[in-house]
């Protein structure tokens, strides 16, 4: 099985006719994702490789049953695109867009609470259930089917760690990139119960970063509520103090926010932390023995 995404998930692409949207739509389709429709205002009636394009999400939903939407819309329009998908009742919304202003995302986050939807992102690579389907820009090459669930704040580290896992024969059930912005639609804690309930996920890998307390909250949740082991990696062991490392949410505000300090706190909560991306596969092997 998998969480959130499987081979039968019917997908809408918002911004399908743009450069990024069209390229990654073709990549998703080639992997096996069921992209049933696209939306670009003003381009209704066109198609991309036979995939019909509509002017609005509501119009697309009138013609198709849609389980998930992936958003390739510029930052200035992405918040409204998210809300348009939510208003149409699409249960899973994946926003790839980066650079959304903090105040705009804060407003969107709170408005979304009125809808029965789940947002992944923004500023995320998307997600993949290896061998089944993928959403977003996440490349399929490093991944293979297996028992390891992954949730990550970093896209490139996700790919690297997955490659190390796959090289050791440790495939993945579902891999979710939640995004590295200060405000994201879904947190580590909100995804851990889904992996806990998935019968084919045997261990969960959490890829975190310096800054914030999301990783500690996930470790506390795992200690209290999970029977499956949680393994972690924290990016930033060599980060200079006070430097932002890649993501708006990854900034050290004091000695307690360093990768080393965060790793020590996780280990006190029972979560083993690898010091290198390659070390994650070693820890996963150990907990699966």
- pLDDT for residue 251: 53
- pLDDT for residue 254: 47
Q: Which helix (H) or strand (E) holds 163?
A: helix 155-167
Q: Kindly report, residue by residue over 209-267, the tens digit of the pLDDT.
A: 888 889 999 999 999 999 999 999 999 876 666 555 555 555 544 455 688 889 999 99
Which of 3.40.50.11540, 3.40.50.720, 3.40.640.10, 2.40.110.10 is the CATH number of 10-120?
3.40.50.720
Mean pLDDT, rounded, for 185-206: 98
Mean pLDDT, rounded, for 279-287: 97
Q: Is the CATH number 3.10.620.30 carried by domain 141-288? A: no
Q: Which of 24, 140, 164, 247 is catalytic?
A: 247
- pTM score, whole prediction: 0.94
Q: Tell me the C-alpha distance between 88 and 62, whole Å.
A: 10
Q: Kindly report, residue by residue over 92-149, the tens digit of the pLDDT.
A: 999 999 999 999 999 999 999 999 999 999 999 999 999 999 999 999 999 999 999 9
ω into 122 cis (within 30 of 0): yes
Ramachandran area for residue 32 (φ above 0: left; ψ -120 to 50: alpha; else beta): left
Q: Kindly report, residue by residue over 3-54, the tens digit of the pLDDT.
A: 999 999 999 999 999 999 999 999 999 999 999 999 999 999 999 999 999 9
Q: Kindly report, residue by residue over 65-99, the tens digit of the pLDDT.
A: 999 999 999 999 999 999 999 999 999 999 999 99
247 is catalytic: yes
- pLDDT for residue 130: 98
Provide the token pair at 34.
Answer: 């069921």
DSSP per-residue codes, 4-73 = S--TT-EEEEETTTSHHHHHHHHHHHHHT-EEEEEE-TT-TT-EETTEEEESSHHHHHHHS--SEEEE--
Domain ranges of the chain: 10-120, 141-288
Judge whether 10-120 and 141-288 match in fold.
yes
Report the candidate in 99, 234, 219 with the shortest Cα–Cα distance to residue 157. Answer: 234
- pLDDT for residue 239: 63
- pLDDT for residue 210: 86
């Amino acid at each position: 099985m998998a969480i959130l995404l499987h081979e039968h998930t019917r997908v809408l692409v918002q911004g399908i006719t743009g450069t990024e949207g069209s390229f990654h739509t073709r990549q998703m389709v080639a992997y096996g994702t069921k992209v049933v429709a696209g939306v670009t205002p003003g381009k209704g009636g066109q198609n991309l490789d036979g995939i019909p394009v509509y002017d609005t999400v509501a119009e697309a939903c009138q013609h198709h049953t849609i389980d998930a939407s992936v958003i390739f819309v510029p930052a200035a329009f992405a918040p409204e695109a998210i809300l348009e998908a939510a208003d149409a009742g699409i249960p899973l919304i994946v926003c790839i867009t980066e650079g959304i202003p903090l105040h705009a995302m804060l407003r969107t986050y709170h408005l979304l609470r009125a809808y029965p939807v789940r947002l992944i992102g923004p500023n995320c690579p998307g997600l993949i259930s290896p061998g089944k389907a993928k959403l977003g820009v996440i490349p399929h090459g490093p991944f293979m089917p297996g028992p390891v669930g992954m949730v990550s704040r970093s896209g490139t580290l996700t790919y690297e760690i997955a490659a190390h896992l796959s090289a050791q024969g440790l495939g993945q059930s579902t891999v979710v990139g939640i995004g590295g912005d200060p405000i994201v639609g879904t947190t580590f804690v909100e995804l851990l119960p889904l992996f806990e309930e998935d019968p084919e996920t045997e261990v969960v890998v959490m890829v975190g970063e310096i800054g914030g307390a999301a990783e500690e909250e996930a470790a506390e949740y795992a200690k209290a509520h999970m029977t499956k082991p949680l393994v972690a990696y924290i990016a930033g062991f060599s980060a200079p103090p006070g430097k932002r490392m890649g993501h708006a949410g990854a900034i050290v505000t004091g000695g307690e926010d360093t990768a080393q300090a965060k790793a020590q706190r996780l280990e006190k909560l029972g979560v083993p932390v690898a010091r290198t991306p390659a070390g994650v596969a070693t820890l996963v092997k150990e907990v699966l023995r």
